[in-house]
Each structure stands twice: as C-alpha cells, then as structure tokens.
Amino acid sequence: MSKIKQVTPSAFYQHTLRDSFSCIGRGLHSGLKVIMRVLPAPANTGYRFIRRDVKGDCNEILAAWYTVSDTHLCTTISNLCGVRVSTIEHLIAALHVCDIDNAIIVLDGPEVPIMDGSAKAFVELIDSVGLQQQAWQRRAIVVKKPLSVREGDKLACLLPYDKPWVKVEIDFEDPCIGRQSISTAIDYATVKRDIACARTFGFGEHINALKDLGFARGGSLENAILVNNGKVVNSSGLRYDNEFVRHKVLDTIGDLALSGAPIIGYFNGKYTGHALNNLLLRKLMASGANYDFCNFSDLGYFSRKLLAESRA
C-alpha cells in the first residue's frame, strides 16, 4: 500500500474563490454565445448554477448527483421546474481539482461555454483569482466496499483506496484512437499537468447527424479534436499522445465531483461515460453502508481503518 499523503492544515477547511471571474464562449451543443460568471459562495453552498436568462424564483440549480437529468454526450442538471444547465463536467472538474468547494455560477444561457474543449481555461481563471479559506471543516467521502455498475461491456467500479485515484480504459474502432488506458492520482498538480488540457473529441462521419439532433452545433476545430478517416484533422495535432483517454478522465473527475465531497477511493472505468458514472454515484450514495463521511483532519485514520477492513 502506498503511503498516505499528509494533508496540510489548510486542506482541513472548505475553500471558495478569493474573487469572481468571468468568461465568454459558445455552448458546444447549443452553439449559443454564453456569458458565465463564477463567484465566491458561503461555506456548505456547494456548486450552484443560476440561469439569469430565466425569470422568477426557479432559476437556480444545485450541481449534485441527484440533479443529473441527462447524460447523452454531456452531463446535464435540472431543478424541479425543469430548468437545465448542460455540459457542466469540465467546469466542475476544474473547481474540484483546484479545491474550490463552494461557488455560484451565473449563466445567461442553458450551457456552460466549452472554451477550448478542455478545462485549461477554467483552471487558469481559478488560479488567477486564488482561493479563500473558510471556517467550516472540509468533508470527504471514504469508499467502504467495492461497488460496480455494468452496461454490456461497459463497466464502472469504486474500490476502497487511500487517496482519490482514477483508471480509465477506452477502445474505439478508429485506428487514430484505438485502445488507450491511463491510471492517475487526482490532485491539483497531477490533473493540471496531465489531464486538464485534454480536449473533447468527435468523429467527422457523425457531425451532420449530431447537428440534426441538436448537438455539436457549437463544435469547431477551436474547441474539439476532430477525427476523420483515421486521422486528426486539427492542424495543431494532439496535446498528448493519448489525449482521448485523458479527456475521458477529465469527464470522470467532473462527474464524480457531483458527489458533493472528494471521494477517497479508486475508480476503475472500462468504456465508461457520463451515464455509467452517474449510475455508480447513485449506487454509492444509496446506502451509508457504502461510504463514510469524515473530516479531512481525520482522513488518515479513516483511510487506514477502512483499507484494513476491506483487505481483512
């Protein structure tokens, strides 16, 4: 077993943004221009979206595993009034790995701007404003026993482990991608270096059909990798040799962050996606027998105790 990381005292507490930041971009699927502002929020707020283009009292949506309403090609959340925000996964991943526990996200449209198709811009914007420590203790979800969900040959699992870890495998017929896998720690430095810059991708033969169905209307070579006939169309090429599977890890981080607290456990995904990731979260949160909530200050004790029990 690897040595349990010593957590610095500041990591024991929740954080929000030191200041707000704004960005403008297009929704990947809607194609609409979106102005987004991300603001500091009080402790225990979580991630809350506000649709300022929706009038009345029903324009707020909490980003949580149980508010996920659609997982086709992206992660979409909805409130009880049916107000939606889609393609939240890259922003949520950036907030999560930058240790932002609480934030208000204000949009004037139905979709988070796609930026360059990765989380790079969001991480840079968060870094530019910095973090503000809050008075409340930070909590973690410690996985207590193995859990899995399966759909055909697709599989997503969570196992007890002493730190957040993700392993993802993909396999596409197109030889430009083929079979790729990656196993990585989920922490700020690792994700910023190895994962955050990985872009979303699509296939040339699917574009017209997707647009007819209302998807990918904002997609371009500026915000996605386009694969066509076994080749990458983008003149700049790939940012990593295995950028495709790295992007799947980014999506997974964003999906799992909807648990409401960092998950201390080992995620293993084989051909997984937004739908299976959310099903796994729902299974995890369905019973307190599956996990323990603990303060970050107690994390070393809980991790050792649960790992010992799981391997007994």
Taking the CB of residue 168, how many other CB atoms lie within 10 A of it? 24
| pLDDT over 90 (residue 210) | no
pLDDT digits (tens, 9 = 90+) for 155-171: 999 999 999 999 999 99
**DSSP type of residue 62:** E
Alpha helices in the chain (DSSP H): 89-97, 120-129, 188-194, 207-212, 243-256, 274-285, 299-310
Closest CA to 100 of 74, 127, 79, 82: 127
Q: Which alpha helices (H) appear in 217-265, and where do they start and end? A: 243-256
Strand-pair partners of 185: 165
pLDDT band, very low/low/confident/very high, at 297 (cuts 50, 70, 90): confident
Report the predicted TM-score, pTM, of the whole model to 2 decimal places: 0.93
CA-CA distance, 195 to 136, in Å (whole number)?
Answer: 29
Is the Cβ–Cβ distance between 190 and 253 less than 8 Å?
Answer: no
Longest dimension (CA), the chain: 56
Domains and CATH numbers, the chain: 12-137 (3.30.230.20), 139-310 (3.30.1700.10)
CB proximity list for 104: less than 8 A, separation 6 or greater: 38, 39, 40, 41, 45, 48, 50
The answer to whether the annotation marks 90 as part of a ligand binding site is yes
pLDDT band (50, 70, 90) for residue 305 = low
CA distances from residue 199 to 205, 234, 282 in whole angstroms, order as listed: 19, 12, 27
pLDDT tens column, 136-157: 999 999 999 999 999 999 999 9
- 107: which strand partners? 36, 51
29-41, pLDDT tens digit by residue?
999 999 999 999 9
Whole-angstrom distance, CA of residue 267 vs CA of residue 156? 7
Q: Give the per-residue pLDDT at 4.
A: 36
Q: Catalytic amino acids?
A: 274
